Structure 1
Amino acid sequence: MDWLITTLKQYPELAVFLTLSLGYFIGKFKIGSFSLGTVTSVLLVGVLVGQLDIVIAPAVKSVFFLMFLFAVGYSVGPQFFGGLKKDGLPQMFFAAIVCVLCLVCPYFIGKIMGYDMGLTAGMLAGSQTISAVIGVASDTINQLDIPAAEKAALINKIPVAYAVTYIFGTAGSAWILASIGPKLLGGNLVEKAKELEIQLGGDSIGDDPSMASAYDRVIYNAYQISAQSFGCNKTVAAIEAELESKGRHLFIERIRKGKDIFEAEKDTIVEENDVIALGGRREFMMNYVAVNEKEVLDVELLNFPVEVLTVMIVKKEVLNKTIGELRGSKIAHGVVIRSLKRAGIDMPVLPNTTFNKGDLIELVGTKKDVDRAALHIGYADRATNATDMAFVGLGIVLGGLFGALTLKISGVPISLSTSGGALISGLIFGWLRGQHPTFGRIPEPALWVMNNVGLNIFIAVVGITAGPSFIVGFQEAGWGLFIAGAAATTLPLILALLLGRYVFKFHPVITLGCAAGARTTTAALGALQDAVKSKTPALGYTVTYAVGNTLLIIWGVVVILMMS
């Protein structure tokens, strides 16, 4: 054991990876639906490892924290600036007001409880579940004109308060929104979610079942045409039009004539004994009843490649159109939309769901049809392992330089700090990527590493560094801090729900999504979708999440300036 402790002190990088390993392992465990989560687990393990008095260079956490903040901004940039348009402005205003409440409530509670700026900033971070405040507030404290020992004491209190208040901040938020929220918004939100789906075209299951689910598979069957078949001696275009008129959105992809197989063209005539490869969503195929057509097993006819391609919505001819409008257009012939993601969130795939710039849709069909559709829709986001590091590096540098600029007001230095600058830069660079998707690519796995691992390495170093003073700080704060944090979590959420209902007059389900997004609680979004048995809360989540993820992090600077 002595050898292990000595080695960890000599090689502190090993202590960081030990903390990560144990933290990620513990973070997976759940008691019912509750879990500490990775960030809190890594912090607590870091505190435990920190009892060994291990010294880690401060630059280590700064590097990974800047990487994390840039990734956050990059992820939500398109939605943040897209929300500035007319349709998104009410949700942006709502999110901004809620974020102000998330700042003001912890501030006044901290004042009432007599907390210093370290405990108040930590309570803000934990009660609002915004881990990045730890780093931003620490950077701001380091800029204050106070003794170095006082700075260290204040900074070490931040993770203490964060750890104590985060538990209710996470579990409490999900419980309030999923359990209390429906009661405050009029109750019976399952029915209201169904009503919203009807408004979005979800009632057209009989007429347009391809929009019923984002996860239904596309299948192809082979049918032999008889002389009595409705499609005998008709063109491919005429057959597909007749199927469409009966609510069956199916496509003929290939035709066998004797021993020869041909790609189906619009003017190709289907004759007796021809075998056609008919494809579409599974529910369409299930609704199709072959009367004078015989289903056959023709492996050679059905053995053709089908492409699944992710496309970023960019082209003006598609923006603000609905999924139903796209499906009915010529450019989507032979193509099915399997899923729609906005800022990494799965959106409901319904006929009246509109496309926003930067949305990612998954197209399924033959390569010819998918490539043609992608050309008219936007940018084909084909899988790659390469990250545009020139783009990432430049973004972090420019953001850091901007954040390093300091303005003194009444002798108080005010700046975004390099961390705040990296966040703003990420927003701008993420927006640029959405406008011009030919550069600035960060593959999803790489973005996960920057976002998740970047934050947790930062948190691990914070925990290890604060370890020696953590227990003393916890004893000083007492259980009153937990109660204070619970109040700081609850008040903004309750006020947000009432604000959405009586002031903004959002649909109740949208109000729940907006409240979860403004508070950046993805766990609560999942709980909401389970509670209302619908994905529609996601419609209020993405724009408000972009605003909340930006403002709540910047509050780490503001709360320190307010407390000082």
Structure 2
Amino acid sequence: MNWIISTLQQYPELSVFLALALGFFIGNIKIGSFSLGSVTGVLLMGVLIGQFKIDISPTVKSVFFLMFLFAVGYSVGPQFFRGLKKDGLPQVYFAIIICVLCLLVPYLIARLLHYDVGTAAGFLAGANTISAVIGVASDSIQQLNLSAAEKTALINKIPIAYAVTYIFGTAGTAWFLATIGPKLLGGAEKVIQECKELEAQLGQSVSDNDPSLRSALNRVIFRAFKVEDDWFKTPRTIKETEEYLESFGNRLFIQRVKKGEKIFEDAEDVKIQQGDLIVAGGQRGFFLTDQDHVGREINDPQLLSFTVESLSVLIINKEVIGKSLKELFNDDNLEKKLHGIGLNRISRAGVEIPLAPGIVLERGDQVDITGLKSEVDKAAAFLGYADRPTTSTDILFVGVGVLIGGLLGAMTIHIGNVPFSLSTSGGALISGLFFGWLRSQHPTFGRIPPPALWIMNNLGLNTFIAVVGISAGPGFVAGFKELGLSLFIAGVFASIIPMFISLLIGRYLFKFHPAINLGGCAGARTTTAALGAIQDSVKSNTPSLSYTVTYAVGNTLLIIWGVVIVLLFS
């Protein structure tokens, strides 16, 4: 044991990886539906390892924290700026009000209980489950006119207060929004019914709410049939056949025709008649009645052995933006450019949204399409930018983005005698927002693949948290004993009061639909766990419709509050 401790002290970088490994292990352990999460797990393990008095250069945490903040901004940038447009402004205003409440309530409680600035910053971070405040507030405290020892003491209190309040901030908020939230909006049964009505307006089947069915119904498939229906006694063209099937509400495409032993593909002049074999492609839900209109399904390996492509496309075409899926596929001119294409899923700011006819496409949406390669390539060129899988990250884009943000954040403006600065961390966040939006406008550069973005987000934040925990370890136990229970109770009020007020504001002032209200509250508080709990509670995935814009606003403002809380106390 002594050898391990001395080795960690001699090579402190190893202690970071130990904290990460143990933290992710502890954080992923579930008790019922609750888990600590990786961030809290890494923090606690870092504190435990920190008892060995291991010194780590603060530069390590700064580098990883800047990487994390830039990635956060990059992820939500397109939705953040989209929300500033007219149609998204109510949700933006709602998110701003929630974020202001999430600042004022912890601030007032901290003042009432006479917390110092370090405890108040950690209290704000934990109650609102916004881990990045730890770094932003620490940077801001470093700018105060205090001695080095005083700054260190205050900064070391931040993770203590965060750890005490974070657990209820996460689990408590999810429970409150999912269980109490619907009751405040008219009752659970009423909210469930209103969500079903919203789904009907969007054209989404209520049965899609069952996760075991939803993924199947949204998946594009290809099936083979033997043509037996009497309608085909007269030979029909492929176009006539597709129009015939569409008259029954089924948007399907004939991909191949087999006559005897000969197979035809992309042959418009081929006529289909009784006895022929065909392959139709489309979403699974469209096949439910086809055997009544075509013939029995068959298994012909030769006929079904052909190549299809699935591709993710970034929506940037102005002809498509602002149109619902129903409008898109009912417009003859546009539909021709999407012939043979089926939709697998739509995601907005990384959050999957309902695949329903009433969903309106926005710039920067990610649409997964499937079909023959020639048709997929044609559709991708029309919709926007084909986001083909790659492992390459535009490091030039990332490096310049973090550098510019850091330089801007390092600038200090004096308001009276008070120095105001976003700090390098706040600057990196703002830069990430702009560069993420820039990428959505010009997708030919600035690519950060999802796996790389995941590494920047998770490894960046958790490495930062590991170093914070290890550095604060020696004073953590004493601080926890001093503040533990009272701070935890205060954190309960700081987490719940803003959500309670926000739900009422959303209902009576903004008059939001309950699904939009609940999803907006979860988004502005940046609690993905709450979104999942809400969707389970209301038996609908419609709350995700308001999550993306409010999440983008919340993820920006709540991090900036790390600077504001220090200014308010200083």
Query: Per the shorter chain, which TM-score range?
Result: over 0.9
Q: Quick check: 1:391 aligned with 2:393?
A: no
Do the aligned partners of 2:353 and 2:544 also contact (CA within 8 Å) in 1? Answer: yes
Mark the CA change 1:485 to 1:226 in structure 2 (over 3 Å): closer, same or farther: closer
Provide, for residues 227-263 of structure 1, a one-character-per-residue CA deviation record: whole Å limited to 9, x for no partner.
8343741111011001101112211101123322111
Mark the CA change 1:204 to 1:45 in structure 2 (over 3 Å): closer, same or farther: closer
Q: Quick check: 1:437 aligned with 2:443?
A: yes
Provide, for residues 501-524 of structure 1, a one-character-per-residue CA deviation record: whole Å limited to 9, x for no partner.
010110011100000001000000
Q: Matched residues in 2 for 1:288 and 1:247: separation? A: 10
After TM superposition, the structure 1 = structure 2 runs for residues 458-477 of structure 1, keeping only pairs within 5 Å, are 458-477=464-483
Q: Matched residues in 2 for 1:553 and 1:296: separation? A: 58
Q: Matched residues in 2 for 1:37 and 1:326: separation? A: 41
Deviation at 1:79, TM superposition (A): 0.1
Deviation at 1:372, TM superposition (A): 1.3
**1:402 match:** 408
Deviation at 1:25, TM superposition (A): 0.5
**2:236 match:** 234
Q: Matched residues in 1 for 2:529 and 2:216: separation? A: 21
Mark the CA change 1:292 to 1:365 in structure 2 (over 3 Å): closer, same or farther: closer
**1:484 match:** 490
Do the aligned partners of 1:193 and 1:532 also contact (CA within 8 Å) in 2? Answer: yes
Do the aligned partners of 1:225 and 1:232 also contact (CA within 8 Å) in 2? Answer: no
Larger deviation: 333-342 or 3-12? 333-342
The SS at the match of 1:339 is: strand
Q: Matched residues in 1 for 2:496 and 2:296: separation? A: 62
Q: Matched residues in 1 for 2:218 and 2:512: separation? A: 30
Q: Matched residues in 1 for 2:76 and 2:207: separation? A: 32
**1:198 match:** 200
1:313 paired residue among 298, 312, 315 = 315
Deviation at 1:212, TM superposition (A): 6.9
Do the aligned partners of 1:232 and 1:271 also contact (CA within 8 Å) in 2? Answer: yes
Do the aligned partners of 2:220 and 2:343 also contact (CA within 8 Å) in 1? Answer: no
After TM superposition, the structure 1 = structure 2 runs for residues 299-310 of structure 1, keeping only pairs within 5 Å, are 299-310=301-312
Q: Matched residues in 1 for 2:293 and 2:35: separation? A: 54
The SS at the match of 2:93 is: helix
Mark the CA change 1:292 to 1:218 in structure 2 (over 3 Å): closer, same or farther: closer
**1:273 match:** 275
Q: Matched residues in 2 for 1:134 and 1:384: separation? A: 33
Q: Matched residues in 2 for 1:63 and 1:24: separation? A: 21
Mark the CA change 1:509 to 1:272 in structure 2 (over 3 Å): closer, same or farther: closer
The SS at the match of 2:368 is: strand
Q: Matched residues in 2 for 1:226 and 1:470: separation? A: 77
Mark the CA change 1:542 to 1:183 in structure 2 (over 3 Å): closer, same or farther: same
Q: Matched residues in 1 for 2:181 and 2:197: separation? A: 18
Provide, for residues 77-99 of structure 1, a one-character-per-residue CA deviation record: whole Å limited to 9, x for no partner.
00000001111000000101110
Q: Matched residues in 1 for 2:146 and 2:439: separation? A: 41
Mark the CA change 1:93 to 1:224 in structure 2 (over 3 Å): closer, same or farther: same
Q: Matched residues in 1 for 2:425 and 2:439: separation? A: 21
Deviation at 1:272, TM superposition (A): 4.3
Deviation at 1:435, TM superposition (A): 0.3
> Which amino acid in 2 is paired with 1:84?
L
Provide, for residues 272-315 of structure 1, a one-character-per-residue CA deviation record: whole Å limited to 9, x for no partner.
43321122222222321246735433221110111111111111
The SS at the match of 1:340 is: strand
1:539 paired residue among 533, 539, 545 = 545
**2:77 match:** 77
> Which amino acid in 2 is paired with 1:476?
E
Provide, for residues 490-538 of structure 1, a one-character-per-residue CA deviation record: whole Å limited to 9, x for no partner.
1100011011001011001110000000100000000011111111000
**1:57 match:** 57
Q: Matched residues in 2 for 1:152 and 1:472: separation? A: 15
Q: Matched residues in 2 for 1:536 and 1:255: separation? A: 40
1:360 paired residue among 366, 388, 392 = 366
Q: Matched residues in 2 for 1:352 and 1:205: separation? A: 16
**1:428 match:** 434
The SS at the match of 1:478 is: helix
Mark the CA change 1:382 to 1:292 in structure 2 (over 3 Å): closer, same or farther: closer
Mark the CA change 1:272 to 1:23 in structure 2 (over 3 Å): closer, same or farther: same
After TM superposition, the structure 1 = structure 2 runs for residues 489-500 of structure 1, keeping only pairs within 5 Å, are 489-500=495-506
Deviation at 1:326, TM superposition (A): 2.3
> Which amino acid in 2 is paired with 1:217?
R
Provide, for residues 199-226 of structure 1, a one-character-per-residue CA deviation record: whole Å limited to 9, x for no partner.
11125989xxxx9767533332223335
The SS at the match of 1:47 is: helix
> Which amino acid in 2 is paired with 1:250?
L
**1:288 match:** 290
How many residues are aligned here?
Answer: 560
Deviation at 1:369, TM superposition (A): 1.6
Larger deviation: 79-88 or 289-298? 289-298
Do the aligned partners of 1:214 and 1:349 also contact (CA within 8 Å) in 2? Answer: no
Q: Quick check: 1:342 aligned with 2:348?
A: yes
**1:220 match:** 222
Mark the CA change 1:231 to 1:285 in structure 2 (over 3 Å): closer, same or farther: farther
> Which amino acid in 2 is paired with 1:459?
I
Q: Quick check: 1:25 aligned with 2:25?
A: yes
Q: Quick check: 1:503 aligned with 2:509?
A: yes
Q: Matched residues in 2 for 1:536 and 1:197: separation? A: 7
**1:137 match:** 137
Q: Matched residues in 2 for 1:507 and 1:98: separation? A: 17
**1:527 match:** 533
**1:2 match:** 2
**1:94 match:** 94
Q: TM-score, normalized by length of structure 2? A: 0.96
Q: Matched residues in 1 for 2:146 and 2:264: separation? A: 80
> Which amino acid in 2 is paired with 1:497?
L
Q: Quick check: 1:256 aligned with 2:258?
A: yes
Q: Matched residues in 2 for 1:63 and 1:292: separation? A: 62
Do the aligned partners of 1:231 and 1:239 also contact (CA within 8 Å) in 2? Answer: no
Do the aligned partners of 1:233 and 1:270 also contact (CA within 8 Å) in 2? Answer: yes
Provide, for residues 56-105 of structure 1, a one-character-per-residue CA deviation record: whole Å limited to 9, x for no partner.
00000000000000000000000000001111000000101110110000
Q: Matched residues in 1 for 2:234 and 2:470: separation? A: 75
Q: Matched residues in 1 for 2:398 and 2:354: separation? A: 31
Deviation at 1:5, TM superposition (A): 0.5
The SS at the match of 1:276 is: strand
Mark the CA change 1:235 to 1:215 in structure 2 (over 3 Å): closer, same or farther: closer
Do the aligned partners of 2:92 and 2:553 also contact (CA within 8 Å) in 1? Answer: yes
> Which amino acid in 2 is paired with 1:154?
L
Q: Matched residues in 2 for 1:100 and 1:447: separation? A: 29
- Tell me, which stretches of 5 or more residues in structure 1 are unaligned? none
Deviation at 1:267, TM superposition (A): 3.9
The SS at the match of 1:240 is: helix
Q: Matched residues in 1 for 2:130 and 2:110: separation? A: 17
Q: Matched residues in 2 for 1:291 and 1:411: separation? A: 80
**1:518 match:** 524
**2:386 match:** 380
Do the aligned partners of 2:225 and 2:294 also contact (CA within 8 Å) in 1? Answer: no
Larger deviation: 271-280 or 419-428? 271-280
Deviation at 1:361, TM superposition (A): 1.0
Mark the CA change 1:231 to 1:130 in structure 2 (over 3 Å): closer, same or farther: farther
> Which amino acid in 2 is paired with 1:216?
N
